[in-house]
């Protein structure tokens, strides 16, 4: 049986990774992390037993670990494993029971903590209102209890399940083990039933984590519009007016104690808040101001213009343009004056954006109004109803909903470019920053010696990103190029902001919906350098998820801007989606992935992307569309339909493929036949269905031959790779995680 080793701190599996293997821990300890809930797994624990298609938890080695891996995508794989390893059945069943008990206890504690948290918030807020009213304390930037999101767990665990599990572990585990290990099917069924329960519980835990993450800033926050800072401001008010403040101090200390005990706040934040309280208590500084203070501005628009640094006549001109535009943004095509005004506003919008960004990126905290401008394109109350502005403000205090390793708001993305963490995107002429500078040199606009200096200039990099990618994509994703509005307004944000918000969870849900069907969607061949002998020319199939940038608009379109981040094939693609979308996100994602599949194939194939002698997705599709009239495998009806499809796509072959891919994912994967047999074979060759779907379609005459051919080709590749890898190991080489993933790919 194979054994693998992980060093302390190694990531064994990451949230949203495809589940390919389970691991039995032989030695060492592993942290199972579900948001900020951590569970320690020891010897004999099974990593993956609560997972399904994609990991919903992170697994990190707490110590050096030794583990036994085995392929497991579902009940069929588990049954196969237990049939071969009969001695493991008892271990699996007992371990699944122990780990379920662990998860149930975590769930139970969190549900109780959620009730305590809600009660504590209600009590503290009531005390704040009572004491504030008596002291005549007016705090316009205080907390809004209406933003409190009540706990809503859809993946619930009933109390009887918790009680039953606890009783079983304490009183009946041995009898249970004897009963359920007498038969293979009974044992496997019990393990899978327990696994399904744990998966549901883990999802419930994630929902409770969402509840805490969304509401925690109402109690303590670095934005200072929370109950703690409101009480600190109240403390100062009481002291300035020589009023008794003992009760206020007790409540502040209760808040700090509760916040520390509940375990959902950063220690550094709590330490900073405690120091602020101590200073206020001693009246060393006045904390009654707010970082969102309007600084004399009469509107949000003026506050943004002031923040950008405009003064005097220039300020008045910009203020006048945007104030006038707020009354005519709905339709400017019929009125020449309004059209010219819109052109001025669009140009000024990006200039104001630049100035605000370059100021905000260097500050430790940013006023919420500025965050709303940089993330949403919000400028003033004259463009939106009050309830929608309240919704935007609530979202602005919870921007983590739109952030992850692969999901960025525009503000976050530009910060990454500014700091050098991400390279600037290509411009609309398909030139990256380096190529653009080289072109500028050839045209005589800059000196050759300036190229490297400009590349290293954070401001120049960011301005290139704003002037090229941001300007172009913001208009495209808006969905109506001719009537584009750069300012977030009520016509576009027609629903509640919360409902239209494109969150990271919605994005991963949409991506995973496609990955469950088209498992190879984001896999691409990567050449690994430094490998000797027969391995030197081997390409490794690696899954590289795209970076997704949320454009500050309320739009209806999505954009696959570039298939890789640079000339290297091992860098993420870049997908652009409106931060508020009025379209079905699943459909947008399918279209994005279709365009990505086409463009990444073109990039990998290079000049031979349409050369039929080099078989690939694009070359086979090009051949199919170019010569469909002579294709004897197509019926007259199919040819007529294809003629219509080409006409609608204006003879753009990629767009025909996008429509076919949409049908492939939405209908063909469920057994609904929408494609002709030629397209079906091309799709199955280059965008094959996952193992589970192939199993369901195996008996369909439309797919039987294709599935058998696919399986035979994979087995042939696996046999060859295994021979190469065995030889590589015998010569002293070490099988890397990338090489293992390559093997896993052909087993999927």
Residue 248 falls inside a structural domain: yes
Residue 125 falls inside a structural domain: no
Contact 708, 681 (CB under 8 A): no
- Do 424 and 351 sit in the same domain of this protein? yes
Q: What is the dihedral of CA 75, 77, 80, 81, to 10 degrees?
A: -110
- Do 413 and 278 sit in the same domain of this protein? no
Higher pLDDT: 330 or 349? It is 349
- Do 452 and 360 sit in the same domain of this protein? yes
pLDDT tens column, 333-365: 567 888 888 888 999 999 999 999 999 999 888
In the prediction, which pLDDT does 289 show? 38
Mean pLDDT across the chain, nearest whole number? Answer: 89
Q: How far apart are CA 121 and CA 129, in angstroms?
A: 12
In the prediction, which pLDDT does 286 show? 36
Sheet holding 11-13, edge to edge: 11-13, 58-61, 30-34, 37-41
pLDDT tens column, 420-467: 999 999 998 889 999 999 999 999 989 998 899 999 999 999 999 999
What element of type H or E holds 144?
Answer: none
Residue 460 falls inside a structural domain: yes
DSSP track, 600-639: HHHHHHGGGTT-TTS--HHHHHHHHHHTGGG-TTS-HHHH
In the prediction, which pLDDT does 294 show? 46
In the prediction, which pLDDT does 285 show? 35
- Do 338 and 232 sit in the same domain of this protein? no
Average pLDDT over residues 31-52: 90
Residue 351 falls inside a structural domain: yes
In the prediction, which pLDDT does 291 show? 42
Higher pLDDT: 552 or 151? It is 552
Instruction: Name the DSSP letter for residue 54.
Output: B
Q: Given the structure tokens 């390559």, which residue do they identify?
A: 742
Residue percentage of the chain with pLDDT more than 90: 60
Question: What CATH number does the domain containing 21 carry?
Answer: 2.60.120.10
Q: How far apart are CA 664 and CA 671, in angstroms?
A: 10
Average pLDDT over residues 728-738: 81
What is the pTM for the complete model shown? 0.81
Average pLDDT over residues 674-692: 93
- Do 336 and 457 sit in the same domain of this protein? yes
Residue of 218, 226, 230, 217 whose CA lies nearest to 132: 230
Lowest mean pLDDT among 55-64, 305-314, 335-344, 693-702: 335-344
Give how many domains the chain has, as a whole number.
Answer: 3
- Do 329 and 273 sit in the same domain of this protein? no
Residue 431 falls inside a structural domain: yes
Residues in the chain: 748
Residue of 116, 105, 103, 100 whose CA lies nearest to 151: 116
Domain boundary among 73, 94, 117: 73
Residue 221 falls inside a structural domain: yes
Residue 398 falls inside a structural domain: yes
Tell me the three state secondary structure of residue 495: coil
Domain that holds residue 65: 1-73
In the prediction, which pLDDT does 531 show? 63
Q: How far apart are CA 389 and CA 387, in angstroms?
A: 5
Whether the per-residue pLDDT at 481 is higher than 50: the answer is yes
Domain boundary among 483, 508, 532: 483
- Do 274 and 410 sit in the same domain of this protein? no
- Do 462 and 397 sit in the same domain of this protein? yes
Average pLDDT over residues 140-147: 76
- Do 244 and 379 sit in the same domain of this protein? no
Residue 577's DSSP bridge partners are 550
Q: How far apart are CA 661 and CA 680, in angstroms?
A: 10
């Amino acid at each position: 049986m194979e054994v693998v080793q992980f060093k302390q701190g190694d990531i064994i599996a990451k949230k949203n990774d495809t589940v390919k293997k389970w691991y039995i821990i032989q030695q060492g300890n592993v942290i199972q992390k579900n948001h900020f809930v951590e569970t320690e797994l020891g010897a004999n624990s099974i990593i993956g037993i609560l997972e399904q298609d994609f990991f919903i938890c992170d697994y990190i080695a707490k110590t050096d670990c030794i583990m036994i891996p085995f392929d497991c995508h579902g009940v069929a794989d588990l049954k196969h494993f237990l049939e071969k390893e009969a001695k493991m059945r008892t271990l699996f069943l007992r371990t699944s029971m122990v780990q379920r008990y662990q998860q149930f206890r975590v769930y139970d504690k969190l549900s109780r903590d959620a009730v305590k948290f809600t009660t504590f918030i209600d009590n503290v807020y009531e005390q704040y209102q009572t004491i504030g009213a008596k002291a005549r304390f007016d705090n316009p930037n205080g907390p809004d209890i209406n933003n409190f999101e009540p706990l809503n767990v859809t993946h619930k665990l009933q109390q009887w399940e918790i009680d039953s599990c606890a009783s079983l572990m304490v009183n009946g585990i041995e009898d249970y083990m004897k009963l359920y290990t007498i038969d293979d099917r009974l044992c496997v069924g019990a393990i899978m039933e327990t696994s399904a329960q744990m998966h549901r519980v883990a999802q419930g835990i994630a929902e409770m984590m969402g509840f805490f993450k969304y509401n925690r800033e109402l109690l303590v926050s670095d934005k200072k519009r929370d109950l703690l800072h409101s009480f600190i401001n109240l403390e100062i008010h009481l002291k300035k007016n020589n009023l008794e403040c003992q009760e206020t101090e007790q409540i502040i200390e209760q808040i700090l104690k509760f916040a520390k005990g509940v375990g959902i706040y950063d220690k550094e934040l709590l330490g900073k808040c405690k120091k602020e309280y101590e200073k206020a208590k001693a009246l060393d500084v006045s904390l009654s101001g707010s970082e969102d203070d309007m600084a004399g501005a009469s509107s949000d628009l003026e506050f943004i213009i002031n923040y950008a640094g405009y003064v005097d006549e220039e300020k008045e001109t910009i203020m006048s343009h945007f104030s006038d535009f707020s009354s005519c943004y709905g339709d400017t095509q019929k009125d020449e004056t309004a059209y010219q005004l819109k052109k001025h506003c669009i140009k000024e919008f990006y200039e104001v954006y630049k100035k605000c960004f370059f100021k905000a990126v260097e500050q430790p905290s940013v006023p919420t109004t500025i965050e709303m401008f940089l993330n949403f394109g919000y400028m003033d109350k004259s463009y939106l109803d009050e309830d929608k502005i309240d919704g935007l403000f609530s979202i602005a205090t919870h921007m983590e909903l739109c952030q992850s390793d692969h999901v960025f708001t525009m503000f976050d993305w530009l910060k990454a470019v500014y700091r050098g963490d991400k390279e600037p995107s290509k411009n609309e002429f398909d030139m990256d920053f380096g190529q653009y500078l080289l072109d500028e040199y050839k045209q005589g606009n800059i000196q050759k010696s300036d190229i490297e200096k400009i590349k290293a200039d954070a401001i120049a990099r960011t301005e290139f990103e704003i002037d090229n990618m941001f300007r172009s994509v913001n208009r495209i994703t808006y969905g109506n190029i001719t009537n584009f509005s750069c300012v977030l307004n009520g016509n576009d944000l027609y629903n509640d902001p919360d409902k239209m918000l494109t969150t990271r969870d919605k994005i991963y849900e949409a991506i995973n919906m496609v990955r469950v069907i088209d498992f190879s969607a984001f896999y691409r061949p990567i050449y690994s350098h430094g490998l000797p002998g027969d391995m030197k020319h081997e390409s490794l199939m690696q899954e590289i998820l795209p970076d997704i940038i949320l454009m500050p608009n309320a739009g209806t379109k999505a954009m696959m801007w570039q298939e890789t981040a640079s000339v290297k094939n091992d860098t993420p693609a870049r997908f652009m989606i409106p931060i508020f979308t009025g379209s079905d996100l699943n459909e947008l994602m399918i279209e994005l992935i279709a365009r990505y599949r086409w463009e990444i194939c073109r990039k990998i194939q290079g000049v031979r992307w349409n050369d039929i002698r080099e078989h690939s997705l694009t070359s086979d599709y090009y051949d199919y569309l170019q010569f469909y009239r002579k294709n004897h495998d197509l019926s007259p009806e199919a040819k007529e339909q294809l003629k219509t499809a080409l006409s609608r796509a204006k003879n753009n072959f990629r767009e025909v493929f996008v429509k076919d891919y949409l049908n492939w994912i939405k209908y063909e994967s469920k057994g609904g036949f929408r494609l002709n047999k030629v397209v079906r074979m091309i799709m199955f060759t280059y965008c094959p269905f996952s193992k589970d779907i192939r199993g369901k379609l195996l008996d369909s005459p439309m797919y039987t031959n294709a599935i058998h051919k696919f399986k035979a080709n994979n087995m042939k590749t696996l046999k060859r790779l295994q021979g190469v890898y065995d030889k590589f190991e015998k010569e002293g080489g070490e099988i890397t995680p990338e090489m293992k993933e390559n093997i896993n790919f052909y087993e999927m």
